[in-house]
Amino acid sequence: MEKTLPNADGVFELMTLPYAPQELEPVVSAATIGFHHGKHLLTYVNNLNALLPGSAHEGKALEEIVTSAEPGGLLNNAGQLLNHNLYFAQFRGPVADNAPTGTLADAIIGQFGSLDAFKKDFVQKGASLFGSGWVWLAADDAGRLTIVQEPNAGNPVRRGLRPLLTMDVWEHAYYLDYQNRRPDHLNALWQIVNWDEVARRYQ
């Protein structure tokens, strides 16, 4: 997994989106992106930067902090920063019949039977996650795929797994566009998954 380091001033920066805020419409509105990236994620960045000075984690890579920090506010904010960086970087504008190719597609079909079976299982695990959290596609050292439910700020790196794809099931991710219809939001997200980015994480 790549390492995200603080800048020369020792602080983590808000990631730059690889698309314009309106580019994910109608799946995710520009308004949701504006609040989610520009307000919610920025708050996690600022909280983490406020907690790091004088802590045991000053100067470390974000991935290292999330793997090693004790449960608490610093881990929660570092986890939310890493989770959102992976989340926002894995999308692009809607694509009809969007699907993975190559080694990743072979692994998904080998593990879950078909792409549709995988998507159904993934959405079911996201829809049934009680409260706030994240559903992940993750890989072990042998490249075996698994779907993992993580509450709150959880990330599968703490289980020794490599995170590949994630859906945010905190209400702030979908409430402006989908209100209480979390499964509808999750099903719609398949249209904007950038499978090239997911495949790059799997290699």
| Interface ranges with Mn ion (CB under 5 A) | 168, 170, 173
Nearer to Mn ion, 98 or 152 (CB): 152
CB of 86 vs Mn ion, minimal distance in Å: 11
By Cβ distance, which residue is nearest to Mn ion?
168
Q: How far is the CB of 83 from Mn ion (least distance, A)?
A: 7
Smallest distance, Mn ion to C-beta of residue 111, A? 27
Scanning 3-101, the segments in alpha helix (DSSP H) are 30-35, 42-51, 62-68, 73-89
CA distance 94 to 1: 26
| Residue closer to Mn ion, measured from CB, 25 or 171 | 171
Helix (H, G, I), strand (E, B) or coil at 72: coil
Nearest residue (CB) to Mn ion, 74 versus 173: 173
Which residue's CB is nearer to Mn ion, number 81 or number 108?
A: 81
Q: Which of 147, 171, 169, 170 is nearest to 159 (CA)?
A: 147
Burial of 75 (0-12, 13-18, 19+ CB in 10 A): buried
Q: How far is the CB of 141 from Mn ion (least distance, A)?
A: 28
